């Protein structure tokens, strides 16, 4: 899976233009599940543009309640009613700037799975935690809390994104080996909390300064099942190039 996180970029008209360009650039591409996550105001327009094309559309966030007096929020039933199929949960920017916690991520995960959305749950350590040797502890805690009371029968669509916070938007990337090690920790915790078979099949994405020039070395790691891409997804050319590199299409032999 290659997911594009457009964050708070692009007006609806720009989002439509970018989605249209992507369709042209990715024509015939079938290897990956590609998910475009625009700002919520552009979900409908991007859905219209991509309808019937095999490119999926995801939200960047949602509320855990199905409806209610939550000014400014969007619910899972609202997303599914327009055809959104995926949702990013617990992105580090949500945790840092909007008080998102492991507990709210857990509540949102319950709701997303109940409504048939494919959740992309983000976890990752900050630089200080990595430098203190706490990465494993942080990842285990975030995964364990996100999965609290989630039943293995329901969790099948789950996707986890490992996004070391120090690598997001900084140009610094985890080495493929660092990412693979973190993915192994996450997979182990999912096996403990849910089910070994589910963990073996779980898709774990890497996110944090993924670009066309580093996509193939990251995605060549057996433990890395895809990428969550911010900055490099904003230009259709660079995102399409990254998708092709990551799939081994057009790589030098
Ligand atoms: P980046 O963002 O690719 O710009 O580092 C990744 C993310 O925040 O999901």
Question: pLDDT (tens digit, 9 = 90+) per residue, 148-205?
Answer: 999 999 999 999 999 999 999 888 888 999 999 999 999 999 999 999 999 999 999 9
Residue 105 CA, ligand 1 centroid: distance in Å: 19
Q: What is the pLDDT of residue 248?
A: 55
Is the Cβ–Cβ distance between 146 and 112 less than 8 Å?
no
pLDDT of 27 reads: 86
What pLDDT does 245 receive? 77
229 Cβ below 6 A of ligand 1 = yes
Q: Is the CB of 116 under 6 A from ligand 1?
A: no
pTM score: 0.95
Q: Which atom of ligand 1 is nearest to the CA of 229?
A: 3
Bridge partners (DSSP) of residue 122 are 161
pLDDT-above-90 percentage for the chain: 90
Q: Does residue 209 line the site of ligand 1, with CB under 6 A?
A: yes
Q: Give the whole-angstrom CA distance, residue 225 versus residue 31.
A: 12
β strands within 50-165, DSSP E: 56-59, 86-89, 118-123, 159-162
One DSSP character per residue, 141-175 reads HHHHHHTTT--TTT-TT-EEEE--GGGTTSS----
Residue with the two structure tokens 């409504």: 115
Q: pLDDT-derived band of residue 113, with 50, 70 and 90 as boundaries?
A: very high
Q: Which residue has the higher pLDDT, 234 or 246?
A: 234
**pLDDT over 70, % of the chain:** 97
pLDDT band per the 50, 70, 90 thresholds, residue 249: low
Cβ contact 101:123 at 8 Å: no
| Closest residue CA from atom 7 of ligand 1 | 230
With bands split at pLDDT 50, 70 and 90, how would you rate the model's confidence at 252?
very low
pLDDT of residue 253: 36
Do 79 and 106 meet the contact criterion of CB atoms below 8 Å apart?
no
Separation of alpha carbons 74 and 143, rounded Å: 24
């Amino acid at each position: 899976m290659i997911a594009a996180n457009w964050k708070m970029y692009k007006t609806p008209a720009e989002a439509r233009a970018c989605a249209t360009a992507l369709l042209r650039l990715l024509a015939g591409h079938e290897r990956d599940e590609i998910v475009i996550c625009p700002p919520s105001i552009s979900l409908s327009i991007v859905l219209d543009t991509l309808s019937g094309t095999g490119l999926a559309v995801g939200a960047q966030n949602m509320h855990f309640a199905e409806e209610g007096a939550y000014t400014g929020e969007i619910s899972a039933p609202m997303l599914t009613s327009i055809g959104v199929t995926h949702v990013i949960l617990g992105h580090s920017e949500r945790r840092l700037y909007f008080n998102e916690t492991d507990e709210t991520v857990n509540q949102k995960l319950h709701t997303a799975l109940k409504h048939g959305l494919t959740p992309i749950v983000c976890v990752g350590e900050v630089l200080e935690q990595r430098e203190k040797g706490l990465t494993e502890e942080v990842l285990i805690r975030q995964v364990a809390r996100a999965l609290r009371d989630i039943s293995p029968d329901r969790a099948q669509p789950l996707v986890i994104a490992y996004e070391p916070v120090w690598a997001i938007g900084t140009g610094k990337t985890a080495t493929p080996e660092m990412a693979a090690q973190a993915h192994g920790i996450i997979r182990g915790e999912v096996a403990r909390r849910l089910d070994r078979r589910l963990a073996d099949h779980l898709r774990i994405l890497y996110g944090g300064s993924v670009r066309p020039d580093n996509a193939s070395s990251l995605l060549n790691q057996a433990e890395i099942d895809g990428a969550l891409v911010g900055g490099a997804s904003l230009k259709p050319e660079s995102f399409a190039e990254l998708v092709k590199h990551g799939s081994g299409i057009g790589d030098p032999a």
